[in-house]
Structure formats: C-alpha cells, structure tokens
Chains A and B, each alone.
Chain A
C-alpha cells in the first residue's frame, strides 16, 4: 500500500518535470511517513549511506578525465590517428567519427559529454564534405553510445556497485562488446556510404610514414588506455586509483608535453566535474535508497516468483527483459534504472543461472541504446540541440545504425561468451 503510493509520487514527480533526485527522495520520504513503522530518519541515513562507498568514489575521477581530454589536446591527436586509419574508406569521415568515439570510450566515462564534444567538432566538417546534417548527427550520437560500454564507463562502475561484482571484471567484460558495436556501426556506415556515394575523405590509404607519425602523436593518449585497463586487469590499481593516476597523467601530458592545458581550462574542467558528480551521485544515492526500500518490502522475491511462474528458460527471460528495458530506456535515465532494477531482478537472475556479468553488460548496452531513441533519449537531445536537427530527421537517418546496435544487443544476449570470455580469462 505505502509502496504503491511511493511509486505514484515517483511517477508524478517524473511527469511534472521535478528534478529526478527530488522526485525519488519525495517518494522515499512519503513511504516512511505513511508506513509509520520506521523512523523517516532512516530515509536520510540510507541516502547518505550510498555515498560512503569506495566503488562509487571512482566516478568523479573518470568525469574529470573526460572533461580534461579535450583541453589537453588528446582528442585532436586521436582524431588525426582515426582519420589516417579510416579516411580512405567509403564515408571516410563518418568512419573516423566512430573510430574516435571508440578510442575516446577507453578514457571517458560519460557518453553525453563525449557526444556533445564530437558534435561540435565533427558534424560541421562532415556537412562541409557533403554528408547530410541529420546523418552526421545520427552517426555521432550512435558512436558515442559505445562510450558507456567500453571501460571505464560510468554505468559499468554503477552496475558493479549494485550487483556486488568486481569493477575490474565489469570493465573487462565491456571490451569485446564495445569493439563489436564499433565494427557493426562501421559496416553499416560503409553500406550507407556506398548506396549514397559519400566520398572518402582521403584519396589513398595510410602510408607507413603517415601512420607512424599519427601513432607517435597519439601515443601519449594510447598509453593512458593501457595504463587504465592494464593496471586494473593486473590488479595493480583499484578503479579509483586508476582514475586518479589517469587524471594526474593527463594533466602532466597537457601541461608539460603538449603544452595546451592552461589554468583557466583546469578550473573550468574542475567546476564541470563538481557539478556533474553532484547531479549524478545524488540520483545514485536517492535511487539506492529506493532500491533498499523495495528489497525491504521483499518485492524482488515477488518478482522472481512471478517471472519463474511463467517460464524458467533464461533466454525467454532475457528477451522479455530486453523489450521491457528498451521501452523503459526511452523514458528513464539509464543509471537510475540500473540502480533500482538490478536489486529487484538479481534473485531471478541467480535462480535462472544467468551470469551477473553477462546480465549486467546486456542491461547496460540495452539502456545505452535507449539514450538514442525518443522521447527521452538524452544523447539524442544533446546531439540534436547542438547541430539543430529535428527528431524526425534524426530517427529516419539513424534507423540503420539503430538496427545495427540492436543486432549487437541480440548477440550479447544470446552469446554469453562475448561478455564473459575476457573477464574470466
């Protein structure tokens, strides 16, 4: 009963455009006042409690890192490498765009920030070369969906926290699916480019000299990916420490080696980090208190009983869940959905014998695709507002890319090895 009213408060809050974390807090507090058998102070305690967790301490570091990359001159060097490698293909600049997103994904944690930056940087250049504005925007948005899957993605950290699996394993599980998505997008772009006759950006393939030159330019940035991934994989660093080392390294690189990072840039990146960390963490904290409340009410057991009552085939469950999440992802912010849903679904997942890492990666990829679809696609909104594209055009031009990503999602769903092979190696 009280839970029902809490849910009602939550949904009303979402619909009338109250900030997400306030709507969630309102729901929790109203539950405690209505249920009456526990002090409402516990609500405050549960919300603060979520911040007292070392896994989630990794978040500000990777946000900071993402904010620094552009100012430090790393993005530009990576773009050069991507252009040399893929510029001669059909639809060259679109290919470079996806390639750059994938490389950036290895350092940045937030797809919205990545997408905004790439839209400003690449879409004007693409339209100059004769690509449609809507197609360019769709390519950039679809490419930046790879960011949350490739480590260090924020969603991977958050899932590791709620599902109680190791962050390192979760990071590793994203590598293969991330690369797979990149390839799927690039193949789709190649087909579209062939049909529409988009010209390559460069007349010939990379020569050894050019390749070597670009690789040398980007080597500082590529080392960073190896340090983050290698350090965590070998157990040298915890994810938080890897984030700290990476931030220190990027500042060093930007200030002393590339000499592009100046004090005003640092200040700007720092403020941006404080703001993003606060808005994201408050949602996480409020949502984990809500998830605790659902567990307290033993909703997850009811969910498990309900689902297994229909079918005990794990693949049927995953398929139904995929459809449900794709619809949900259109309306709800992905990280919030992970925090609330994972504790609810975990007993079912374990009962059906699904690997939590496989399950998590499927869920993250699914919700990432939700960022691309109207009406609540955060990435789509950011991209469209920067480039001035209409939602309708975006959907039409983005459709083939959307299909490619759905195919990847199905592969990840039905072939657990794609996500579990590397972490258990």
Chain B
C-alpha cells in the first residue's frame, strides 16, 4: 500500500500543480471581469506552479517512457542489439540528468537572494524544481535499467 502511494506520488503532485494552474487562472479571469479587481500576484504563482508541474510531470512521463525520441534508426537494429543500445542510452541519459540536476541545484542555491517582485518569494523555490525533477527522472531510469537487465538475464537462463 505504501509502495503504491509512493509510486504514484509524482503523478499526484504533477496533477495537483496542473489542476492548481487551471483553477487559479479561471478564478483570476472571474475576478478580473466579474468583480473588476485583478489579482496582481497570480502571474508569479502560476509560473512557479508551471515549472513544478513540468518537472514533476517529466518524472511521471519518464516512469512510463513517454518522452519523445527519434527511433527511426533504433528500430532498424536487431532485437538483441536494441536491448543493449537501450541500456547504453539509459546510462547516458542518467549522466546528463544528474549533471543537469546538479547545475540546477547550484543555480537554486545561488538564487537565494533573488525574490519575485510582488510576493517576495525566493527563487530557490522555483529553481529547486530542476534538481528534484531531474534526479527523480534519473532514479526512474535506474529502475528501468535494473528491470531490463533482470528480464534479459531471465531470458538467457531459459
């Protein structure tokens, strides 16, 4: 049960951010036109929710291997070579994501003093989405790799 909850955590958080964006925007339109009092801080909070929705959604998409890639040449390989190529690709992707996540973490740490103009929220909370999302994606790729290798080993034993 706990595993199930944790496994869907990225889905839930990403959905929450998306839903939040939709509801806040609808509400902002309503107050602007019906009540004639625009909410000034809406844009800031929307953009913060947007980057989190993107990075968490990216993790959820990585879990399902839904990220877009160009597989024309890949599918030309024989099935066995495809399996090894997939492992290599995942390894490369993990390295890139870890480097990117690390750079994002550095950026977040350095942006501590920078605050948004109206709400005065530190940019740490926006930029932190990058390392969180990237590392989460890397973890999913490690899990994919382990599963693939296990399947391969099973296939060879048979």
Contacts and interface: CB of A to CB of B under 8 A. Distances in A.
A45 interface: yes
Given A16-B89, A18-B89, A244-B29, A60 B104 contact: no
A118 to B, nearest CB: 21
Contacts of A240: 25
B71 to A, nearest CB: 5
B3 to A, nearest CB: 19
Given A18-B69, A247-B22, A52 B58 contact: no
Contacts of B51: 48, 51-52
A29 B70 contact: no
Nearest to B116: A52
B22 A244 contact: yes
B9 interface: no
Contact of B96 (A22, A248, A271, A285): A22
A51 B50 contact: yes
Contact of B54 (A19, A26, A244, A277): A277
Interface stretch (A36-44, A91-99, A363-371): A36-44
Tell me the interface secondary structure of chain A in the complex. helix
Contact of B60 (A29, A51, A275): A275
Interface of A: 13-22, 25-26, 29, 40-41, 43-45, 47-48, 51-54, 57, 60-61, 64, 237, 240-241, 243-245, 247-248, 267, 270-271, 273-275, 277-279, 281-283, 285, 331-333, 375-376
Chain B interface residue count: which class?
Answer: 35 or more
Given A29-B103, A277-B53, A279-B67, A16 B74 contact: yes
- The residue in B14, B50, B55 that gathers the most chain A C-beta atoms within 10 A of its C-beta is B50
A395 to B, nearest CB: 15
A367 to B, nearest CB: 15
Given A44-B100, A270-B15, A275 B66 contact: yes
Given A15-B73, A48-B104, A20 B29 contact: no
Interface of B: 11, 14-15, 17-19, 21-22, 25-26, 28-29, 43, 46-47, 50-51, 53-58, 60-61, 64, 66-74, 85-86, 88-89, 92-93, 96-97, 99-100, 103-104, 106-107, 110, 126-127, 129-130
Given A44-B107, A270-B19, A17 B57 contact: no
Given A43-B100, A279-B57, 9 more contacts: A26-B96, A40-B103, A52-B51, A60-B18, A244-B28, A274-B11, A275-B57, A275-B66, A282-B67
A60 B97 CA distance: 24
Contact of B73 (A17, A61, A237, A271): A17
- Main SS of the interface on chain B? helix
A109 to B, nearest CB: 15
A43 B99 CA distance: 11
Contacts of A247: 22, 26
B99 to A, nearest CB: 6
Contacts of A60: 18, 21-22, 50, 53
Nearest to B106: A41
Contacts of B71: 17
Contact of A274 (B28, B53, B103): B53
B104 to A, nearest CB: 5
Contact of A245 (B26, B58, B129): B26
B70 to A, nearest CB: 5
Contacts of B104: 44, 48
B110 A41 contact: yes
B129 to A, nearest CB: 8
Contacts of A16: 73-74, 85, 88-89, 92
